[in-house]
């Protein structure tokens, strides 16, 4: 059936048929000033169009007037930066079509007869209005990565990319930019045509060629001729029991569909519109209850994408794929003429998520059990170096890697045997900005949660008959897991006396010029938390954080004293307001540097930092799911010790408070990350208000609240 659909899709594209009745367009509009986001998907293409129109309230100089089009196919895009001709303020907005009333419509043109590239030219068109004469000063065409490097990298532009842009007239009175990709076959175009009564587009030549527009409305078209992906509709990405969500949460399920395809799920739009192993697997784990299973389903799309991209040599799981124009660009840097996809393998956390998800689906679900033999007999096709290798072989390679790298700590529980970032890398887990770990090299979440959870999964898979070359793993992996569960937390523990904690918080409030209260009256005893990582001196990076959620969500630990103490300090962080704890009106901050032992460390975690005093939606979801999981253990016959009245009550109270702040911030939850300003309380604002980094307006793991709900525990 899937093969027939693909053939139908290719025929439709080749002949320009849209079959609107059979494949109605899906549209979505999300506004987050100064960004207006429009999504369009149908059987021809999927596109995300962002219009940036700064106003007097926009205080970020990087929010320049811009029209950006992002396509999931090839992680591709086209962007146009504008300026007012008179150097004043320029406003631009999309307008409804006079033909069908829509903001965006699909473009679908068959390839020219005899053209080297026979893919149809597809994309979107719409009407853009300028409120004053404008200049299109900079087009960037090809890869989203090129656009991202410019917008977040201080204006980085590759001469090889920009020198290939061609400027020419379009029709009688329009203008066009185009660029042929490094593969020599694919082209991206963006063209503009005036509507009736509006000035013609003028080409301005010189050192920098530009297009000039008068005041008024112009039709734009952004197109490219790259193979398209097969999208999963909202009903296809969800299992049968969750179909009501298509109606009840229409915008969220449309967002999920936009990021879901038959061979992979994408991390977010517009900045991460491609495969990211961590994002897709964490999302699948949090949303497993609602995602479609079986052949052609979302869960197998996630797992298959991971296996296809495993490093065949050492078993490392791919963090991010490079494909399309960016893959060819990277190959050129190495003197290779190729557009074959490649992978980034620098992360150390992603390997462990794979066996966890594999076990959850292929061992713990009936559909997975039935599908396993056929699924793992498949041969890889995505990476040239993996072509023809069985999925079972690649999966076992990753398990072998995990067993190998975790063995030293089992033999000797010293910091040097914990898992470190790879040599030459400053990132390795989800806090993958330059300062996300505060200079740490041994991440807390990886060593205390992901490693033991991955080992538990390998033991379960082995018990179920997987990894037949290693029959001992059923016992060995379980023994490894127990050591990692019980013996790793001690390395990351930070305990600050009440008096020192009050002094540190007061000093932090002063140094950081925080407008809100210090809340030091909430400090009634020692402050205990687990640092983000261990530094080069093997001491904890003294930044309170939300990464406790990994251990709560992925493990059911059995060291009773340790479990009780761990849950209690998590509950304290949720119940205590920032800067004493993590709680604010806008959510839990993923980092609180108030107890840092240096001003320089504190300065790495501000509300303008990607992993600073900001809120990440998926961390709220995992914390909620994790605490719900732990509290549910109190309903078991052999309930843990923390289920005694006093501590159980505190953890339950923290769970309630967490859900209160989640519900108060529903408007932000589908976005990637948000910051805040203080005005008689913490108020949510886009991260881009303070940073050159734009938050994705839709993010895969930020849609997990479709599946994560408050439990009656």
d(CA 701, CA 623): 13
Parallel/antiparallel/unpaired status of strands 544-545 and 134-143: unpaired
CA dihedral 686, 689, 691, 693 (to 10 degrees): 50
d(CA 328, CA 160): 12
**Contact of 29 with 49, CB cutoff 8 Å:** no
DSSP 331-393: HHHTT------EEE---SSHHHHHHHHHHHHHTTSHHHHHHHHHHHT-B--SSGGGTT-BHHH
H or E element in which residue 187 lies: strand 187-194
- Judge residue 522's burial from the number of C-beta atoms within 10 Å of its C-beta, 0-12 exposed, 13-18 middle, 19 or more buried: middle
Those residues with Cβ within 8 angstroms of residue 511's Cβ, 6 or more apart along the chain or in another chain: 599, 602
Quote the pLDDT of residue 63. 79
Question: Half-sphere exposure of residue 469, counting CA atoms within 13 Å on the CB side?
Answer: 7
Quote the pLDDT of residue 481. 99
Tokens coding 319: 């963090």
d(CA 218, CA 199): 9
- Judge residue 244's burial from the number of C-beta atoms within 10 Å of its C-beta, 0-12 exposed, 13-18 middle, 19 or more buried: exposed
For 610-629, the pLDDT digits (tens) are 999 999 999 999 999 999 99
Quote the pLDDT of residue 56. 59
Tokens coding 622: 């995992």
Task: Give the sign of the dihedral formed by CA 702, CA 706, CA 710, CA 713.
Answer: negative
- N- to C-terminal Cα distance for the chain? 43
pLDDT, averaged per 10 consecutive residues of the chain (713 residues), comes to 39 40 85 96 96 75 87 98 95 95 97 93 98 98 96 91 97 97 98 98 95 98 98 98 98 98 98 98 99 98 99 99 97 95 98 99 98 98 98 99 99 99 97 97 99 99 98 98 99 98 98 96 98 97 99 98 98 99 99 97 97 98 99 95 94 99 97 96 94 92 98 89
Quote the pLDDT of residue 14. 40
Instruction: State CA 225 to chain mean position distance.
Output: 26
For 422-473, the pLDDT digits (tens) are 999 999 999 999 999 999 999 999 999 999 999 999 999 999 999 999 999 9
- Judge residue 374's burial from the number of C-beta atoms within 10 Å of its C-beta, 0-12 exposed, 13-18 middle, 19 or more buried: exposed
Please tell me the pTM assigned to this model: 0.95
Quote the pLDDT of residue 3. 39
Give the angle subtended at the CA of 268 by the CAs of 264 and 270, to the nearest 5°. Answer: 120
d(CA 344, CA 320): 5
d(CA 258, CA 702): 14
């Amino acid at each position: 059936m899937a093969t027939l659909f693909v053939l139908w899709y290719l025929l439709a594209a080749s002949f320009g048929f849209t079959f609107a009745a059979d494949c109605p367009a899906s549209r979505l509009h999300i506004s987050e000033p100064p960004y207006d986001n429009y999504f369009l998907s149908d059987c021809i293409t999927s596109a995300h169009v962002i219009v940036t129109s700064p106003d007097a309230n926009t205080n970020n100089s990087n929010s320049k007037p811009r029209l950006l089009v992002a396509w999931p196919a090839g992680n591709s895009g086209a962007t146009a930066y504008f300026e007012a001709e008179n150097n004043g303020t320029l406003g631009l907005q999309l307008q409804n079509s006079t033909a069908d009333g829509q903001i965006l419509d699909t473009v679908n043109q068959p390839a020219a007869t005899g053209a080297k590239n026979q893919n149809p030219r597809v994309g979107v068109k719409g009407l853009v209005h300028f409120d004053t004469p404008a200049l299109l000063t900079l087009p960037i065409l090809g890869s989203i990565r090129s656009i991202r490097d410019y917008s977040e990298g201080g204006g980085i532009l590759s001469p090889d990319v920009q020198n290939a842009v061609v400027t020419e007239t379009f029709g009688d009175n329009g203008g066009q930019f185009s660029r042929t990709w490094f593969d020599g076959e694919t082209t991206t175009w963006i063209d503009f045509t005036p509507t009736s009564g509006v000035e013609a587009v003028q080409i301005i030549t010189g050192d920098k060629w530009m297009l000039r527009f008068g005041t008024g409305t112009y039709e734009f078209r952004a197109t490219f001729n790259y193979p398209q992906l097969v999208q999963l509709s909202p009903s296809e990405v969800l299992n049968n029991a969750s179909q009501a969500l298509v109606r009840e949460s229409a915008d969220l399920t449309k967002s999920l569909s936009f990021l879901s395809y038959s061979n992979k799920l994408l991390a977010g739009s517009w900045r991460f519109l491609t495969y990211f192993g961590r994002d897709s697997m964490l999302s699948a784990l949090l949303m497993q209850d609602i995602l479609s299973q079986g052949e052609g389903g979302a869960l197998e799309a996630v797992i298959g994408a991971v296996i296809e991209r495993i490093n065949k040599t050492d078993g490392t799981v791919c963090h991010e794929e490079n494909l399309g124009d960016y893959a060819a660009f990277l190959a050129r840097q190495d003197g290779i003429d190729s557009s074959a996809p490649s992978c980034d393998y620098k992360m150390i956390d992603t390997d462990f998520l794979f066996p966890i998800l594999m076990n959850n689906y292929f061992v713990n679900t009936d559909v997975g059990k039935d599908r396993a033999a056929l699924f793992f007999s498949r041969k890889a096709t995505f990476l040239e170096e993996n072509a023809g290798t069985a999925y079972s072989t690649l999966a076992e390679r990753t398990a072998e890697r995990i067993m190998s790298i975790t063995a030293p700590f089992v033999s000797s529980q010293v910091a040097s045997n914990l898992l470190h970032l790879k040599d030459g890398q400053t990132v390795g887990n989800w806090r993958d900005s330059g300062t996300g770990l505060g200079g740490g090299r041994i991440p807390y979440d990886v060593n205390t949660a992901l490693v033991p959870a991955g080992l538990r999964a390998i033991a379960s898979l082995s018990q179920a008959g997987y990894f037949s070359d290693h029959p001992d793993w059923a016992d060995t992996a379980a023994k490894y897991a127990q050591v990692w569960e019980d013996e790793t937390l001690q390395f990351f523990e930070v305990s600050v006396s009440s008096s020192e904690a009050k002094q540190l918080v007061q000093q932090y409030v002063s140094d950081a010029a925080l407008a809100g209260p210090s809340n030091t009256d909430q400090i009634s005893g020692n402050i205990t938390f687990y640092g983000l990582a261990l530094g080069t001196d093997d001491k904890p990076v003294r930044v309170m954080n939300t990464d406790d959620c990994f251990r709560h969500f992925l493990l059911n630990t059995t060291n009773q004293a340790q479990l009780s103490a761990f849950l209690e300090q998590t509950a304290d962080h949720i119940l205590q307001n920032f800067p004493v704890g993590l709680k604010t009106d806008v959510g839990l901050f993923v980092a609180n540097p108030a107890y840092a032992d240096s001003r320089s460390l504190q300065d790495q975690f501000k509300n303008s930092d990607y992993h600073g005093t900001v809120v990440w939606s998926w961390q709220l979801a995992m914390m909620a799911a994790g605490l719900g999981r732990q509290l549910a253990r109190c309903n078991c016959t052999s309930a843990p010790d923390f289920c005694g009245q006093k501590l159980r009550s505190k953890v339950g109270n923290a769970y309630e408070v967490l859900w209160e702040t989640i519900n108060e911030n529903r408007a932000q939850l589908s976005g990637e990350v948000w910051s805040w300003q203080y005005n008689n309380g913490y108020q949510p604002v886009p991260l881009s208000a303070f940073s050159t980094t734009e938050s994705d307006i839709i993010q895969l793991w930020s849609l997990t609240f479709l599946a994560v709900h408050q439990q009656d525990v």
